[in-house]
Amino acid sequence: MVKRVDKVYNTVVKLTKTNEIGVSALEIAKELGLERSTTSRYLNELYRESKIEKVGGRPVLFKAKIPNKDNGVGTFTKKMNSLDKMIGAKESLNLPMEKAKAAIIYPPRGLHTLLLGETGVGKSLFAEQMYEYAKEVNIIRGDAPFIRFNCADYVNNPNLLTAQLFGVKKGTFTGADSDREGLLKRAHNGILFLDEIHRLPPEGQEILFLYMDKGYFSPLGETGKTVHVNVRIIAATTENPESFLLQTFFRRIPMVISLPSLKERTLKERYKLIETFIK
């Protein structure tokens, strides 16, 4: 009969095959139908015997040490994922790509990200691929929400814009005729993509930045009530990085990724891009 500790080890190996980042004690416990505390004990035993690695953060994650045929240091050969499939992933988009992956996996909850770039450079696609990537590496669940919102859509109604994002208590302003739940809450455990972020009015910015710092926010007109969510924000803008409108965003959003203009791409990339546009 296979010993329990070996079952735990085999499960770590199995789960790390599809999840390069690592797996939590709870996930392993669920897989085996064991108590979490029992599982943790075996995991620590395996860790002491140097059979598995610990990845810091909360929750602590574990991954198997699998000897690599080439160098024996226990890293996995990287498999292709969504981000790598974008045109220019290994060329012009290499740095943006690496930064995006780092932003997604950064423990414990990732880094909120601002995407810069002229219109048509692929910001929206990039944001979607970051979401796909986050699912592929099991940072978020397969059914996690991806919610997009264009801040330019409500530009002449800042109250409504802010209410859409953060929710509102009935009667807070003319037109707020019912309690409404905001998109930030609906994106819980997933990603909220905010396009044309430079159009977000100051009061909306304040709530957003507070959420980024603290992990909670108050809907409009609900000063006493706080809503705690776990949402990764990806913001995008076509605004010139020199613009004063962006300066606050630069200071408050921890990861800024610039996508190069189409002129800056290699000839091969431009050719492939044209090909996909035609298709």
Report residue 15 as tokens. 């789960």
Q: Residue for token digits 């990764």?
A: 232
Distances (CA, A) of 199 to 3, 149, 227: 59, 11, 24
Q: How far is CA 166 from the centre of its chain?
A: 19
- Considering the complex, state which of residue 45 and residue 196 has its C-beta at the smaller distance from ligand ATP: 196
- Considering the complex, state which of residue 37 and residue 119 has its C-beta at the smaller distance from ligand ATP: 119
Identify residues 103-132 at the interface with Mg ion (CB under 5 A): 124
Q: Which residue is nearest to Mg ion (CB)?
A: 124
- Is there a cis peptide before residue 241, judged by omega within 30 degrees of 0? no
Interface with ligand ATP includes 87 (CB under 6 A)? yes
Interface with ligand ATP includes 150 (CB under 6 A)? no
198 binds, among ligand ATP, Mg ion, none (CB under 5 to 8 A by kind): none
CB of 137 to Mg ion, least distance (A): 24
88 binds, among Mg ion, ligand ATP, none (CB under 5 to 8 A by kind): ligand ATP
- Considering the complex, state which of residue 32 and residue 273 has its C-beta at the smaller distance from ligand ATP: 273
Q: Per residue in 192-220, is it b (16+ CB within 10 Å) or e — as a string?
A: bbbbbbbbbeeebbebbbebbeeeebbbb
Strands 255-258 and 113-116, sheet pairing: parallel
Interface with Mg ion includes 238 (CB under 5 A)? no
- Considering the complex, state which of residue 41 and residue 270 has its C-beta at the smaller distance from ligand ATP: 270
Q: Based on the number of CB atoms within 10 Å of its own CB, is 233 exposed (0-12), middle (13-18) or buried (19 or more)? A: buried
Strands 216-217 and 227-228, sheet pairing: antiparallel
Long-range Cβ pairs for the range 32-41 (8 Å, 24+): 32/7, 32/8, 34/4, 34/8, 38/4, 39/8
Task: Give the binding range for ligand ATP (CB under 6 A) out of 61-69, 80-88, 100-108, 132-140.
Answer: 80-88
Determine which residue in the list 22, 117, 182, 219 makes contact with ligand ATP, applying CB under 6 A. 117
Q: Which residue is nearest to ligand ATP (CB)?
A: 122
State the residues that interact with ligand ATP by CB under 6 A: 86-88, 117, 119-125, 238, 273, 276
State the residues that interact with Mg ion by CB under 5 A: 124
